[in-house]
Copies of this chain bind each other. A is one copy, B any other.
């Protein structure tokens, strides 16, 4: 990768590999912290947590903390514990999300709530969440604690907001952006920002990394929501059309509904209310999404936020880290194809 890559669509197919290589050594340290700190005298805790943590997620959020620290030439190791804390917050959120959605598949494996039941998933999520705060307290930066406790409250608010919007086909694009800004982008932003805090950089750099993470997070979620209608189970590692059947009003639906005929609008309303859950209904929905350009335009929106993420890094000089962070944006957007 060259540091002169400034646009998502330039060059060969973007990949996460440069970022993975950049942080490989640090990520081993983070994984050690994760494995060490998910232990407990209560055996169900590491068993359940390990199922999800070992289940092959991309570790996107801790990776961003590490890559941003590298961008700033941070020489220390404080960020290892904090990156693990970020991953614990994310893991706790996933455990609770799967209970909330009644999901049965994640990352290609059965979900913890299916194997151990909802009660265990709720409580182990609470444990990991508490443990993440213990890790932050051990680090001892009140500024980091402020950023991550605020992000956690915003995530929970976003999840409740999404729950309230469920099945409401009239949800506006603005509200949808509020929801994903909270439930997804807030943790991406915090994961990046805390690297500037541990590296003791000026506030402008903190805010630049916050903006990078936030815009990347929005792009990431937009693409996820498009993929839910355009991929297959093997690629996604979760059920196709889950959002459709759960009545989750994501941007593809908002656009297709807004651009559709009266009959189309009626279909979407029925579908979001849970009255159109057959495979034929899903196929019809996919047809409407393609006909109205809703999927392509969702990706276009993602590209817009991706470009803003890249431009947020404009103040940092060229480096392997900057190139990797830039290419990660391209990867996040290109996953859709």
A127–B156 touching, CB < 8 Å: yes
Contacts of A131 in B (CB 8 A): 153
Mark interface residues in A63-76 (1 if CB within 8 Å of B CB, else 0). 00000000000000
A163–B44 touching, CB < 8 Å: yes
- Minimum C-beta distance from A63 to chain B (A): 23
Contacts of A155 in B (CB 8 A): 126, 130
> Which of B120, B127, B150, B163 interacts with A134 by CB under 8 Å?
B150
A145 to B130, CA, bound (A): 11
B45–A126 touching, CB < 8 Å: no
Interface size on A, residues (CB 8 A): 43
* A122 at interface, CB cutoff 8 A: yes
A140 to B140, CA, bound (A): 11
> Which of B45, B145, B159, B160 interacts with A137 by CB under 8 Å?
B145
A209 to B152, CA, bound (A): 31
A163–B120 touching, CB < 8 Å: yes
Question: Which B-chain residue is minimally distant from A165 (CB atoms)?
Answer: B42
> Which of B41, B43, B120, B137 interacts with A149 by CB under 8 Å?
B137
A42 to B119, CA, bound (A): 25
A149 to B152, CA, bound (A): 14
Contacts of A101 in B (CB 8 A): 119
User: Which interface residue of A41, A93, A153 has the most chain B CB atoms within 10 A?
Assistant: A153
Contacts of A276 in B (CB 8 A): none
Contacts of A134 in B (CB 8 A): 146, 149-150, 153
A42 to B157, CA, bound (A): 7
Contacts of A129 in B (CB 8 A): 126, 129, 152, 156
* A123 at interface, CB cutoff 8 A: yes
Q: Which residues of A contact B (CB under 8 A)?
A: 40-45, 92-93, 96, 99-101, 118-120, 122-124, 126-127, 129-131, 133-134, 136-137, 140, 142, 145-146, 149-150, 152-153, 155-157, 159-161, 163-164
- Complex A-B, nearest 10 residue pairs according to Cβ-Cβ distance, in ascending order: A127-B156, A130-B153, A130-B152, A133-B149, A100-B119, A126-B156, A42-B161, A123-B159, A134-B149, A137-B145
